[in-house]
Structure 1
Amino acid sequence: MYQPAPGAERTLLLLHGTGGDERDLLPLAARFGPGFNVLSVRGNVQEGGMPRF
């Protein structure tokens, strides 16, 4: 998931924990303010049916 921010020069890379997904940390990214692009990805390894890295 990519959320561009107009004029942003920095990008936050969000990596969730086991059982999470690419949406879990979006509230955390919002706390950094509007000056960041946000790149949040889903883990591509399954452990017990749950995504992880």
Structure 2
Amino acid sequence: MILWGWGESNVACGVEERAFCKNCDQEQAFAMRLQYSYGHFYHLFGWVREKQ
């Protein structure tokens, strides 16, 4: 039996900051986040497929 799969995760990367938003013309809270997808083989070997 071969066990392989994939998944996605979203991780917070720092503190929240307030900045001016051009879309709504107001000051908003912004925080950096890392979104990535990964693959794995038998849950032992894994690799990042895409990051943003």
Please give the range of the TM-score, normalised by the shorter of the 2 chains: under 0.3
> Per residue, is there more strand in 1 or in 2?
2
Higher relative contact order (CA 8 A, sep 6+): 1
TM-score (norm 2): 0.28
Greater radius of gyration (CA): 2
> Per residue, is there more helix in 1 or in 2?
1
